[in-house]
Structure 1
């Protein structure tokens, strides 16, 4: 799965609590132009470029007048059109109480062999699919209508701040029928038949907030990734640590225990090196009893492993040495495919930070934005 490094400018798609912004670099990733906002005042949860047709983008939004919806662009974000049929649970018979999508949280392009196909994850936990570039969405009934849905998810009110969420919808690049999902809460699940049937994939992953810390499901993964350099290798940043799985073995191994004890291995995002399956980055946060959701001790840093979690290195050069009380949401960290790899993150304090040397040095490339929900890498025209 190894690919050659890319070159040239990149674009960052930034989703915030109050609208969307873009940051576009020069070829050397040294200078950045900030543009926006788009949809000022609306909550944007995710913006993703279609790698199969880079002119197309989708945006998950919660607007004051339209509610939860998806916007689509065919010209790299210059113009946007709302979906004609956004993700929505099936209606129930009159007099019964049904599920209602509160917000669309996650967007994933479909398999390379399926142009126009996308997946969306929602709050409460629902999975939806589009085959027309995001114009209309249908429920994936194998999950949404599964008799185990309430058991797997904890129901519509599971206590997760800002509502329970389906995230980390992953499509195996080798097989369009092979899917993974992550749920906060619920755990990691897998389908090998395009979503018709699902099985929990949580063995080895802790849920120490439950009476049984080793349940079949009910864990709280914050972010799950299938490594682009080796799709058999999965990583997750969990409410209860950092984990790695070789899917051929089927057991999560906690690799965050090698992190410094004073920092811990709790956080939201985890992102991958595009060409090295042993390299991932995380951004730890304070995981103490009150869950303040800030950098441990007010000393923010990314951590990288280059040996699949055996060791971790702190990367804080350029970041605030003290009084840096922010964290990074699960979708708000990203990597590009250049060489050296660029690493980017957005903060709850409205800043965008960039490293053009794989995290060795950081600099702030935008500030005073609203709280950042998501950062993704795109190719400009």
Structure 2
């Protein structure tokens, strides 16, 4: 059965919150919130069901974190937003350009949050997002500049774009970066090691290096946390721990579509099921739907096969794509899926991708969509 949800939408020009009825058919809207500000991520704390954190860049005032405890009616700015420590000795200076990813801490640690930034940095808050501290285990690692070269990154800057915490163990953390791929820590961020075996980096002289990959997105299967899904710059992968080598499951995608995209969404109850939204990554990387025909692809057998789900999307001339944080699922039965497109539309399916319809149109370019219970 389904239940009322809220969609937390971050865009290039502010944030919006859409709230549904219990059938997920009717929607009300709140917003714009902070109109004109870049909102990279807007997240509800599942541990208390009321705290909202927003990663925003506020024009000439720069990057910050905002916090609300009244459903987004009022906001307070972090007293100490994420910031790198001063460079020691002759080390290069770093300044946070923007916070990109917000991750609530482990269920056993109320008030703990993690943030990933550009340039790549990992930060932790122990007070609900009011103050943030640099995680020295990554940010000051002796190999940091090898992992995160100053001249590397995406068109929007180098990113630490993902933080995933093992629900069984607060000390077990994975991160994804655009400059060095995936890393793992077993001691709550004190030490890190690359986890990239079998993942291609076809833009490097060595196409299978220890690090240097561009991990667009990683997600743990909720009912099988030892299964990690990855959408990479060079394909779709799956890793079942304790294995170390990723399997390129995107090889089973249709050749004319390919396995390039920004995000991957696991089913909340079925560890063999996940969805991707492919984009055109050929030649000049136009970052549009392949052939102008947008579609979601679903696997129900852990990536051995994929099926196209495009009912409701434009049959042609649909030249949009979906960014890293802009595709998500709720916990309904059937599962609801939600994606925000670069053309400012929010699409939803309330039948696990069989059919799609728009929830919102004419928003600014959408950076993130997060589904949360009401």
Q: TM-score band, normalised by the shorter chain? A: over 0.9
In the TM superposition, 1:198-347 aligns within 5 A as: 198-347=192-341
Where in structure 2 are the equivalents of 1:100-139 lying within 5 Å?
Answer: 100-139=95-134
Q: Equivalents in 2 of 1:136, 1:231: separation in Å?
A: 29
Equivalence for 2:29: 34
Q: Is the 8 A contact 2:125 2:133 kept in 1?
A: yes
Contact 2:153 2:159 in 1 (8 A): no
1:376 to 2:370 alignment: yes
In 1: Cα distance, 2:23 partner to 2:246 partner = 38
Q: CA RMSD in A?
A: 1.1
SS in 2 for 1:374: strand
Matched-pair contact (CA < 8 Å) for 1:34–1:366: no
Shift of the 159–337 alpha-carbon distance from structure 1 to 2, 3 Å rule, reads closer
Say whether the 8 Å CA contact 2:18–2:29 is kept in structure 1: yes
Whole-angstrom distance in 1 between the partners of 2:61 and 2:157: 19
Cα contact 1:99–1:156 (8 A) shared by 2 = no
1:156 Cα shift? 2.6
**Corresponding position: 1:59 with 2:54:** yes
Q: Deviations over 1:331-352 (max 9, x none)?
A: 0000000000000000000000
Q: Which moved more, 1:29-38 or 1:95-104?
A: 95-104
SS in 2 for 1:321: coil
Secondary structure (helix, strand or coil) at the match of 2:145 reads helix
Q: Deviations over 1:90-146 (max 9, x none)?
A: 013698741000000000000000000000000000000000000000000000000
- Deviation, 1:315, is 0.4
Question: Which stretches of structure 1, 4 residues or more, deviate above 4 A after TM superposition?
Answer: 93-97
**Structure 1: gaps spanning 5 or more residues:** none
Partner-residue secondary structure (3-state), 1:260: coil
2:156 aligned residue: 162
Secondary structure of 2:225's aligned partner: coil
Partner of 2:323, secondary structure, is: coil
Give unpaired runs (5+ residues) of structure 2. none
Match of 1:10 among 1, 5, 24: 5
42, 59, 69: which is aligned to 1:47? Answer: 42
Match of 2:350 in 1: 356
Aligned residues of 1:9 and 1:379 also touching (Cα < 8 A): yes
> In 2, distance between residues paired with 1:157 and 1:39?
32
After TM superposition, give the deviation of residue 247 of structure 1 in Å: 1.4
Q: Which residue, out of 19, 26, 48, partners 1:24?
A: 19
How far apart in 2 are the matches of 1:362 and 1:338?
A: 16
SS for the counterpart of 1:330 is: strand
Give the aligned partner of residue 77 of structure 2.
82
TM-score scaled by length of structure 2? 0.98
What corresponds to 1:195 in structure 2?
189
Q: Distance in 2 between matches of 1:156 and 1:124?
A: 8
CA distance in 1, matches of 2:128, 2:370: 18
CA distance, structure 1, for counterparts of residue 93 and residue 47 of structure 2: 36
Cα separation, partners in 2 of 1:97 and 1:215, compared to 1, 3 Å: closer
| SS of match in other structure, 2:322 | coil
TM-score, length of structure 1 as denominator length = 0.96
Question: Contact conserved, 1:157 with 1:163, CA < 8 A, in 2?
Answer: no
Q: Distance in 1 between matches of 2:373 and 2:13?
A: 24
CA distance in 1, matches of 2:72, 2:128: 14
Which residue is 1:98 aligned to? 93
Q: How many residues align?
A: 374
Question: CA–CA distance in 2 between the matches of 1:96 and 1:356?
Answer: 51
Say which SS state the counterpart of residue 332 (structure 1) adopts: strand
CA distance in 2, matches of 1:295, 1:142: 39
